[in-house]
C-alpha cells in the first residue's frame, strides 16, 4: 500500500491519505468494526476524498504461480477486487470496480484476477460510493510481486480518476 501511495503522489500528483493503524489486533474478528472508525474519521476530516481503498493480500491459495502474471518482464501479483453487497449502494462500488478492471485489462492484461462480489459483507464500503477492497496476490507472493502490482495499479487508478 505504501508503494501505491508513493506512485499516486509522486508520479500522478494525486493527494492521498494513508493509514497504517492496526485494526485486527488483538481481535481479528473486530478488524472491520475497528477500521470503520478510522475510515469514518478520515472521511469526516477529508470529505473531498474520491476513493477509499482497503489493501490486503489473499490467503489459502495452493500455488504461487496461480497468483502471478508476467507484465513488462516482471512477476506481478494478480489483484483481486472485492465488493461487499450487504448494503443498499453496493452497485456504485461495483461500477467503480468494473471501471478499474476494464482500465487494467486495457493497460495490463491479466493484472486483475477478478472482481468478486461477497454477500453478507460490507467491508466498510457503505461509507463511500467508490470504496474497494484490493487483495494484492496472496501470502505465497514475494514482496516484489506486490510492489510491481502496486505500481501498475497506481497507473490504473490515475487513468480511471482522470476520466
pTM, full prediction: 0.95
Report residue 126's pLDDT band, with 50, 70 and 90 as the boundaries. very high
pLDDT digits (tens, 9 = 90+) for 80-115: 999 999 999 999 999 999 999 999 999 999 999 999
Say what the pLDDT of residue 110 is.
98
Cβ atoms of 132 and 96 closer than 8 Å: yes
DSSP-derived letter for residue 65 is G
DSSP 108-130: STT-EEEEEEETT--TTGGG-TT
In the predicted structure, residue 20 carries a pLDDT above the cut 90 = yes
Are the beta carbons of 69 and 78 closer than 8 angstroms?
Answer: yes
pLDDT of 133 reads: 98
- The residue-averaged pLDDT of 6-26 equals 96
pLDDT in tens, 34-53: 999 999 999 999 999 999 99
Residue 6 pLDDT greater than 90, yes or no: yes
Q: Is residue 38 within 8 Å of 21, Cβ to Cβ? A: yes
**58, pLDDT greater than 90:** no
Residue 163 has pLDDT above 90, yes or no: no
Amino acid at each position: 500500500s505504501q508503494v501505491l501511495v508513493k506512485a499516486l503522489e509522486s508520479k500522478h500528483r494525486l493527494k492521498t491519505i494513508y493509514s497504517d493503524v492496526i485494526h485486527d489486533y488483538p481481535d481479528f474478528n473486530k478488524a472491520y468494526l475497528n477500521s470503520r472508525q478510522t475510515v469514518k474519521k478520515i472521511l469526516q476530516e477529508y470529505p473531498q476524498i474520491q476513493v477509499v481503498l482497503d489493501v490486503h493480500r489473499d490467503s489459502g491459495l495452493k500455488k504461487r504461480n496461480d497468483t502471478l502474471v508476467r507484465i513488462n518482464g516482471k512477476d506481478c501479483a494478480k489483484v483481486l477486487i472485492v465488493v461487499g453487497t450487504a448494503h443498499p449502494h453496493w452497485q456504485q462500488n461495483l461500477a467503480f470496480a468494473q471501471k478499474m478492471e476494464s482500465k487494467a485489462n486495457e493497460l495490463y492484461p491479466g493484472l486483475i484476477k477478478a472482481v468478486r462480489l461477497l454477500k453478507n459483507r460490507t467491508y466498510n464500503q457503505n461509507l463511500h460510493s467508490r470504496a474497494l477492497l484490493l487483495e494484492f496476490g496472496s501470502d505465497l507472493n514475494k514482496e516484489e510481486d506486490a510492489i510491481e502490482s502496486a505500481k501498475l495499479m497506481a497507473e490504473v487508478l490515475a487513468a480511471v480518476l482522470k476520466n
